[in-house]
Structure 1
Amino acid sequence: MYALQDVTATKGNEFEDYFLKRELLMGIYEKGFERPSPIQEESIPIALTGSDILARAKNGTGKTAAFCIPALEKIDPEKNAIQVVILVPTRELALQTSQVCKELGKYLNIQVMVSTGGTSLKDDIMRLYQPVHLLVGTPGRILDLTRKGICVLNHCSILIMDEADKLLAPEFQPSVEELIHFLPASRQLLMFSATFPVTVKEFKEKYLPRPYIINLMDELTLKGITQHYAFVEERQKVHCLNTLFSKLQINQSIIFCNSVNRVELLAKKITELGYSCFYIHAKMLQDHRNRVFHDFRNGACRNLVCTDLFTRGIDIQAVNVVINFDFPKTSETYLHRVGRSGRYGHLGLAVNLITYEDRFNLYRIEQELGTEIKPIPPQIDVAVYCQ
């Protein structure tokens, strides 16, 4: 499931802003693209400058066009040489990618070729005697043709690796590395990957010493988080929170409300109950917010009450309990409040205070996130949320 903003949270650029060839713009509009998606806005202008790129983005967010558009723009159709190679891990993806290149480049007179294992090598050899400007394929087959001297890459100035994490799996990595040695020294490398395993990091350090890094993924996961709900009436919420404070072993907690007003009221109530508490919301001045966040992060206070303003980028290791005092409206907000960045496998506990009105949202969010939020038991085992 893609969050809508993966495709809509743009800076408002237009394809015209990149000063692309008129024929390329015709192909872009004919394909039905109206304006660039976030990954395209980030990648296209940088790729056009000739910089190496390491980009992290989901499939389905316009990633293919993010590298095909600058590649097509930079190819000189008058020059009879392979100028761009796009490496992909599978035959299906090769066909799909070449199709996008052909559609976008419809008016450019650019020759696109696909070459993958499992098809006739002889056909590929014959095809390479004709002009080819852009070659899309899998590493093994392209390397085979290059070693034979049939696929000549000394004018290939751009190498694109799509699904780079898969291309750096053991079965492909040696071929990819050997292929790079056939390219001119001044080549440009564009890598796109949904995940960044260690192999990608090592490869980056070796072949992309100073890439431009684009990260459009907040990788959040509900792994390691025990989720419960307490069915309450609105007027019982503070009492319920008080009970949680007395029963749970909270290292640090973040408590979410759905409005600025409720944040302030709740923070006041928590302080009256005798617990230390900070609060943050959107109407506070930015440097005040920064200071509160900084102090909370440094452990100056145990509990933080806030609005959703604060959900992105919560990576405070010490937070082991998240309480939704007000239940969120969407599964995405829920994931951002409760989820943790995948790289920290810390345990955590999420407690949701659910009123009668929230019950449909609760069910829908469980379905959409494929998770289970269980009723809260009389005792919660400390081992599930304390390291």
Structure 2
Amino acid sequence: MTAQTLFSTLALQPALLDTVTQLGWQQMTPVQAQSLPPILEGRDVIAQAKTGSGKTAAFALGVLQQLDTTLRQPQALVLCPTRELAAQVAEEMRQLARAMPNCKIMTLTGGTPVQRQADSLAHGVHIVVGTPGRVLDHLERQSLDVSAVSMLVLDEADRMIDMGFYDEMSHIEALCPRQRQTLLFSATYPDHVDKDATRFVRDAIHVQVQTELTSVPVQHYFYAVAAEERFDAVVRLLLHHQPTSALLFCNTKLVSDQLCDYLRSLGFSALALHGDLDQRQRDEVLIQFANHSCSILVATDVAARGLDIQGLPVVINVELPHQVESYIHRIGRTGRADQTGVALSFFEAKDKPLLQLLQQAGIDTGVGVLPPASRQARPHSAPMKTVVIIGGKRDKLRPGDILGALTGDAGLDKDHVGKIQVGMVVSHVAIATEVAALALDRLLRHGIKGKRFKAHFVRNS
């Protein structure tokens, strides 16, 4: 640990330094150490770093440092490619801003009525985090005013461009003040991104952090499996490895749903995540997976970006993606926070060109042998169940209130209660499966802080 990489060496306001200390952060990650000094100097920055490298905190601290909470106008606009990433970024920014009084951070994404978002914007907000389509929608409706925006952040810029958002990004950028700071973060930086993104920044500092696959602490295994045999091969791997959580990638929504249904029919705790789900469904799927109410998530690449699932030991590529970059993003879900992960991939003859490119990137693509089918092993049951409470921040609920109700009147031990997430109008709490039914019954009868709330298990948990 060198003095130059300590957060304490940065010219951050005391409230932010205190929060960083409380979070247990001392040393900056490489992308933070290289990008934060120029960000705090007001320079435009283009940074390339893989997902999970700490880039969100880098631009979040820069945004919060220059914020004036007495000015009730958006001063920073953060664009993200997906709803999930926008929600995650906003949550991390709220965590870092918790010592800053009255700091209002709002997400603008699809799945929430436009008028409800417009009403919230009218009450004043300091930071907007959103997807290009919905942000542009509010700009065109004139419900979002960006005249005071002094910082524009393009998070996962490569993904936004690949998803066809370049025109929306350009339109939004043109509506922001010319005198502003622009930060562009990207997991990859191919030539077309360099060409498309250059117009958004001025005299930018370029930061590039090691992103080779060999730098990721992941063990890679490849298996030659015919398409019609993949589902059974997935079962063999799951029963052999018995992971507490596993993320399975498919290339289409149809295959994701079919595999999820097959696994559920065998007793596995599995849910699917893809673009056909509405926002509420997507949120609840991710909440259940994150809090261990579901052990297996079967997803398309909509889940490859922005998901920050702690302690994910296994990723399975049921179908290999078409590009090396997509493979990087998929396996980037595991092997995080200095933990070793496992990436298991099936391939056919048509995937040989991708395997050659992966080998050139330093990955051992030697063909492995599937473990034998086990007659004794059984699917793991999810250790937790998720309870939905129809009440949240608008009802003055806090995580401690819910925990107190569960360990007080409901009679649960603290160890029976998992992750608690309090939203604006709805809250979610993970409860150990063996006591979940009893806890829900007592919660309904006794309420929280003397007030009764409607509550139920997540429908598909």
Q: TM-score normalised to the size of structure 2?
A: 0.46
Partner of 1:210: 203
Partner of 2:168: 175
Q: Which whole-Å deviations, capped at 9, do the CAs of 1:4-57 have from their partners, x for residues lacking one? A: xxxx8x664221211211111122222232221111111111111111111010
Where has structure 1 moved over 3 Å in runs of 4 or more? Answer: 218-221, 344-348
The question of 1:52 aligning with 2:36 is answered no
**Aligned residue among 362, 371, 377 for 2:365:** 371
Q: Which whole-Å deviations, capped at 9, do the CAs of 1:169-221 have from their partners, x for residues lacking one? A: 25311111100011111111101111112331112332224210001125468
Partner of 1:30: 22
Does the CA-based 8 Å contact 1:113-1:134 persist in structure 2? Answer: yes
Distance 1:42 1:24 in 2: 19
Does the CA-based 8 Å contact 1:57-1:215 persist in structure 2? Answer: yes
Does the CA-based 8 Å contact 2:7-2:17 persist in structure 1? Answer: yes
The question of 1:78 aligning with 2:70 is answered yes
The question of 1:127 aligning with 2:120 is answered yes
Alignment of 1:242-321 (within 5 A): none
1:371 to 1:196, Cα distance in 2 relative to 1, 3 A: same
1:218 to 1:61, Cα distance in 2 relative to 1, 3 A: closer
Q: Which whole-Å deviations, capped at 9, do the CAs of 1:238-280 have from their partners, x for residues lacking one? A: xxxxxxxxxxxxxxxxxxxxxxxxxxxxxxxxxxxxxxxxxxx
Partner of 2:85: 93
Partner of 1:114: 107
Unaligned runs of 5+ in 1: 1-7, 222-330, 332-341, 351-368, 375-387
User: Aligned letter for 1:198?
Assistant: D
Distance 1:149 1:39 in 2: 36
TM-superposed CA distance for 1:62, in Å, is 0.9
User: Aligned letter for 2:122?
Assistant: Y
User: Aligned letter for 1:46?
Assistant: P
Q: TM-score normalised to the size of structure 1?
A: 0.55
Partner of 2:13: 21
Larger Rg computed on CA atoms: 1
Secondary structure at the counterpart of residue 168 of structure 1? helix
Number of residue-to-residue matches in the alignment = 229
Partner of 2:227: none
Partner of 2:96: 104
Does the CA-based 8 Å contact 2:3-2:9 persist in structure 1? Answer: no
Secondary structure at the counterpart of residue 51 of structure 1? coil
Structure 1 vs Structure 2 CA RMSD: 2.9
User: Aligned letter for 1:17?
Assistant: T
Does the CA-based 8 Å contact 1:31-1:103 persist in structure 2? Answer: no
1:61 to 1:218, Cα distance in 2 relative to 1, 3 A: closer
Q: Which whole-Å deviations, capped at 9, do the CAs of 1:273-328 have from their partners, x for residues lacking one? A: xxxxxxxxxxxxxxxxxxxxxxxxxxxxxxxxxxxxxxxxxxxxxxxxxxxxxxxx
Distance 2:364 2:115 in 1: 48
TM-superposed CA distance for 1:111, in Å, is 0.8
Unaligned runs of 5+ in 2: 215-339, 341-353, 369-461
The question of 1:190 aligning with 2:183 is answered yes
Does the CA-based 8 Å contact 1:11-1:38 persist in structure 2? Answer: no
Partner of 2:133: 140
1:345 to 1:95, Cα distance in 2 relative to 1, 3 A: closer
Alignment of 1:213-228 (within 5 A): 213-219=206-212
Does the CA-based 8 Å contact 2:75-2:146 persist in structure 1? Answer: yes
The question of 1:200 aligning with 2:193 is answered yes
Q: Which whole-Å deviations, capped at 9, do the CAs of 1:101-147 have from their partners, x for residues lacking one? A: 00100011211001101211111011001121011110100111011
Secondary structure at the counterpart of residue 191 of structure 1? strand
Secondary structure at the counterpart of residue 184 of structure 2? strand
Secondary structure at the counterpart of residue 175 of structure 2? coil
